[in-house]
Structure 1
Amino acid sequence: MNRLFILTIAFTCYCCNLLAQEIEYSRPVNTPESCTSIMVGKKASADGSVMTSHTCDGNYRTWMEIVPAARYERDTTVAIYNGRMHTEYPADRTNMELKGTIPEARSTFQFLNTSYPCLNEKQLGIGETTISGRKELQNQKGMFMIEELEKIALQRCTTAREAIRLIGQLVAEYGYGDSGECLTIADPNEVWHFEVFGEGPDKIGGVWAAVRIPDDHVGVSANISRISTLDLKDKDRYMASENVFSVAKKMGFWNGKEPFRFWKAYSGGNYFGEP
């Protein structure tokens, strides 16, 4: 009887220990929403440099590699994945999900492949911050997570405007499957603040807007949508997807009468996108 009692107590303590460990370690200390990016225009820096940055404050991979420039034959395709940020080395495919393929470019630029790919040989740089947004905008059937869009842009683009246009085309054609994200995209001449969301459960697409940081300004993105009014006639300072207003109306986020504010329509009343 004593042995049975002791075994019962030991088993109970073991189970409680497992439960305690599960509670303690069930969520990471850092979350993807912790990232911050700072942008600097060329007239706001001491030496005329344009800058962007990125503190990647999350539980992501620590390895990095320099991916060389390459040339490809016609009809070559490139695989698009989900889960690459949690791999342990470049060839690791553990827990990665193949989302689909797209045509490969005939030639690509060398780039620095970090958890969120960040810089190419043409001095095109990209920072990232998660801005979440309304949950009803997400569509997991979309092909692209934000890190894969960054990778493709760095492989194929030389300027911030070119990268924004390419990302917009990819999202429209293949769909955006991530939560709301901000990319801060810089080239040697200018830096842009770009935000993208899904288009909702009924369509595999996306909606986005971008604002150029004035040359004599510094900008900060810290986990909340910041783009407000859009003057799309001013092509030097604003860019947006063709559906930027129509999706807001369709989803009931904007009545078409009050002044349109991108952050209000697509991120909701607070950071988590709740009313």
Structure 2
Amino acid sequence: MRKHTHMACTSIMVGKKAAMDGVNYIARNEDNFVANWPKRFFVQQSVSRRNETYTSPYNKLSVKLPESGYRYTSSPDANQDEGWYEEDGINEKNVGMSATESVVANEKVLAYDPLIEDGVAEDSIVTLVLPYIDSARGGVEYLGNLISKYGSTESNGVEFFDEDEIWYMELATGHHWVAIRIPDDCYAVAANQMGIEEIDFNDPKNYMWSDGIQEFVEKYNLNPDESHWNFRKIFGTSTMQDRHYNTPRVWYGQKVLNPSSEQNPESSELPFLRKPEKKIAIEDIQYILASHFNETRFDPLGSGSQEDKKRYRAISLSRTANSHILQLRDAKKVSAVGIEWKAFGIPSFTPYVPFFTNATDIDGSYSFVPEKLDLKSAYWLYETLSMVVESHYREFADINLDYQKELATWARRKVATIDKETVNMSGSELTDYLTVQNHKIAKYFNDATKDHLADLITRGTELSELTFKMDPDL
């Protein structure tokens, strides 16, 4: 089976009753195995009367595309030689998805339903699904039908949401999968390991599954439990790698949102669904995605022992190519429903920029991604900032946090202003207005970031080790 570079992510889903503002969120850090993996962010336009076949550059999967497709936001790789990897977006029907959270199935289930070399892989999932779905549940069904027809190349977790529901789907083997509706009052954190637990096959309103999955498990004696049908225990893994690479990230996300719960970061029994101890704000989601075991001895940038600092894999990495938070707000209260909060660079050091998805464009700085550094490119601008901050972390951390806080405050204020200005807008008037606002938002953040970068570099000139002060007594 071919291996690709997109195999290391962290996902968060927050139900509307668990959220401070009463709306649904899905979010993820798209991580790779190399630090420099440029991404673009733009709007794919709607299509009609199309006669086209999609062929994956990654594994040559070939699929005849529908004649019509919705407009949607997209975050593909800048270099698409290995595949498109559109990763995340919200379409014009206010349905969003993020794909994928790479997971691992165990050898027992793969023995009887192996992965399919030229099946549906991460590089193709958003491309083949998001333009054609009208609901989160419909997204699960649509992808499930593709898996039934073409098979799955990888074990993956996929997030879907609309204004009403959030669904999390885990593709385990070549043809078998399950999906769970995230309860409105719960959140979930997923980190490269099967997360979904008990499946109630008598509750199709809240669970979905591949045809024949129960018979498959029974036929090959794959269930280790006498009285439970736990997807994680049947299809997932529990290895030393899980306990050092995966479960500590879930532990930390739950530690932030349920601070009174005492849990072991290496536990294989961390619950998938949790009710938070307090309502979750978008800043809480941002904090988790930008975290590196902050205020624990496991922080790679902290003061713990060298062994502890390297013990667990953190959520935010130099290899995070694209961190995104997708938000769908109440259409009864606001006209601009969908917002995609985007962070390039290392999210520990860069801001989340709000872009309205009911638009025909994001901004030229997000689609311009040359091979070499150019500060006109948002990707390279935030990569540069990340490198500068980390190079003098102790000196720059507080200044950088102030910069992030100021921009986060401005972003909330800007969104509120736009909500007031668009209260009576709809149709093309609304779309055109939000497109203009996307450009203004991008410019504000880009200018503020260049100013911050200039300030840090100016300060950094005084931090050189090649400094010598003459002793006045000499």
Shorter chain as denominator, the TM-score bin is 0.7 to 0.9
Q: Distance in 1 between matches of 2:52 and 2:215?
A: 33
Partner residue, 1:231: 200
Secondary structure of the 2:101 match is strand
Contact 1:129-1:183 within 8 A present in 2 as well:
yes
Q: Distance in 1 between matches of 2:122 and 2:172?
A: 10
Task: Tell me: CA distance 1:43–1:256, structure 2 relative to 1, closer, same or farther (3 Å).
Answer: closer
Contact 2:47-2:68 within 8 A present in 1 as well:
yes
Partner residue, 1:155: 131
Contact 1:39-1:220 within 8 A present in 2 as well:
yes
Quick one: which of 133, 136, 143 aligns to 2:105? 133
Q: Distance in 1 between matches of 2:70 and 2:240?
A: 36
Contact 2:194-2:237 within 8 A present in 1 as well:
no
Task: Tell me: CA distance 1:250–1:270, structure 2 relative to 1, closer, same or farther (3 Å).
Answer: farther
Quick one: which of 70, 82, 92 aligns to 1:109? 70
Q: Distance in 1 between matches of 2:194 and 2:57?
A: 24
- CA drift of 1:82 comes to 4.4
Unaligned runs of 5+ in 1: 1-27, 84-96, 200-205
Partner residue, 2:21: 47
Q: Distance in 2 between matches of 1:118 and 1:184?
A: 9
Q: Distance in 2 between matches of 1:262 and 1:190?
A: 21
Task: Tell me: CA distance 1:271–1:79, structure 2 relative to 1, closer, same or farther (3 Å).
Answer: farther
- CA drift of 1:113 comes to 2.2
User: CA offsets, 1:149-169, max 9 Å, x none?
Assistant: 222211100211000001001
User: Counterpart amino acid of 1:193?
Assistant: Y
User: Counterpart amino acid of 1:37?
Assistant: S
- CA drift of 1:214 comes to 0.8
User: Counterpart amino acid of 2:164?
Assistant: N
Quick one: which of 36, 49, 58 aligns to 1:72? 49
Residue-pair matches, total: 222
Unaligned runs of 5+ in 2: 76-84, 243-474
Quick one: which of 189, 203, 211 aligns to 1:242? 211
Contact 1:249-1:256 within 8 A present in 2 as well:
no
Task: Tell me: CA distance 1:61–1:138, structure 2 relative to 1, closer, same or farther (3 Å).
Answer: farther
Please give the root-mean-square deviation of Cα atoms over the aligned residues, in Å.
2.6
In the alignment, does 2:198 pair up with 1:213?
A: no
User: CA offsets, 1:159-207, max 9 Å, x none?
Assistant: 11000001001100111112x11112111111111100223xxxxxx11
56-65 or 222-231: which moved more?
A: 56-65
- CA drift of 1:142 comes to 4.0
- CA drift of 1:249 comes to 3.3
Partner residue, 1:176: 152
In the alignment, does 2:30 pair up with 1:56?
A: yes
User: Counterpart amino acid of 1:157?
Assistant: I
In the alignment, does 2:165 pair up with 1:190?
A: yes
TM-score of the superposed pair, with normalisation by structure 1 = 0.72
User: Counterpart amino acid of 1:129?
Assistant: E
Quick one: which of 101, 114, 124 aligns to 2:95? 124
Contact 2:105-2:173 within 8 A present in 1 as well:
no
Contact 2:24-2:166 within 8 A present in 1 as well:
yes
Instruction: Map 1:28-43 to 2 at 5 A.
Output: 32-43=6-17
Q: Distance in 2 between matches of 1:118 and 1:194?
A: 15
User: Counterpart amino acid of 1:181?
Assistant: N
Contact 2:60-2:118 within 8 A present in 1 as well:
no
Higher relative contact order (CA 8 A, sep 6+): 1
Larger % of helix: which?
2
Task: Tell me: CA distance 1:271–1:163, structure 2 relative to 1, closer, same or farther (3 Å).
Answer: farther
User: CA offsets, 1:236-265, max 9 Å, x none?
Assistant: 211111122222234442278552211111
Larger % of strand: which?
1
Task: Tell me: CA distance 1:147–1:121, structure 2 relative to 1, closer, same or farther (3 Å).
Answer: farther
